[in-house]
């Protein structure tokens, strides 16, 4: 079976991110336009409604190493957030505690990760968790 190579995959994701194809709750793009390896990405998650995260925008950094999409990206929150799957010292999303990272599949994308994190925010156990003031960052 022919696997879609990393570059093609990431280019496809870049286009999707720029054109805003998706459910519109998450946004992502390359951190720097001259990153030829397309490794470093910015992401934002718009806080889900009817939760403590409503009207907040969370910024994240995603790093796709050379094994992506065979292995999951590493994901860090820049905006401070109180979530069980997020390391409170570094902002790193613990891959063991987020389902889509722990059970990574090749057809998962950066958007999968962001929407999964958003679902985690809206999770009944998490949606009332007290949150640090908006604008603070790790």
Where on the chain is the footprint of another protein (CB under 8 A)? 1-8, 11, 14, 17-21, 24-25, 27-38, 41-44, 46, 55-57, 59-60, 134-135
Give the integer Cα–Cα distance in Å for 135 and 55. 12
Shortest Å, Cβ 66 to another protein: 10
**Could you tell me the smallest distance in angstroms from the CB atom of residue 39 to another protein?**
10
In sequence order, the 6+-apart residues with CB closer than 8 A to the CB of 122 are: 48, 51, 53
Looking at the Cβ atoms of 60 and 100, the one nearer to another protein is: 60
Tokens for 32?
């720097």
Which CB, 50 or 125, lies closer to another protein?
50
- Residue 75: partners with Cβ closer than 8 Å, 6 or more residues away: 43, 60, 61, 62, 63, 92, 93, 98, 101, 113, 117
CA 60 from centroid of its chain's CA atoms: 6
Whichever of 54 and 102 has its CB closer to another protein, that residue is: 54
Q: Which is nearer to another protein, 24 or 96 (CB)?
A: 24
> C-beta of 38: minimal distance to another protein in Å?
5
Smallest gap, in angstroms, from Cβ of residue 122 to another protein? Answer: 14
């Amino acid at each position: 079976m022919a696997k879609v190579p990393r570059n093609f995959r990431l280019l496809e994701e870049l286009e999707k991110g720029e054109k805003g194809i998706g459910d519109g709750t998450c946004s992502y793009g390359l951190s720097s336009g001259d990153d030829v390896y397309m490794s470093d990405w910015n992401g934002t998650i718009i806080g889900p409604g009817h939760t403590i995260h409503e009207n907040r925008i969370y910024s994240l950094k995603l790093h796709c190493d050379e094994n992506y999409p065979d292995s999951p990206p590493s994901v860090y929150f820049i905006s401070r957030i109180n979530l069980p799957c997020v390391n409170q010292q570094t902002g790193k999303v613990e891959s063991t505690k987020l389902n889509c990272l722990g059970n990574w599949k090749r057809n998962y994308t950066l958007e999968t990760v962001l929407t999964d994190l958003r679902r985690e925010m809206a999770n009944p156990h998490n949606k009332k968790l007290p949150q640090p003031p908006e604008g603070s960052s790790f």
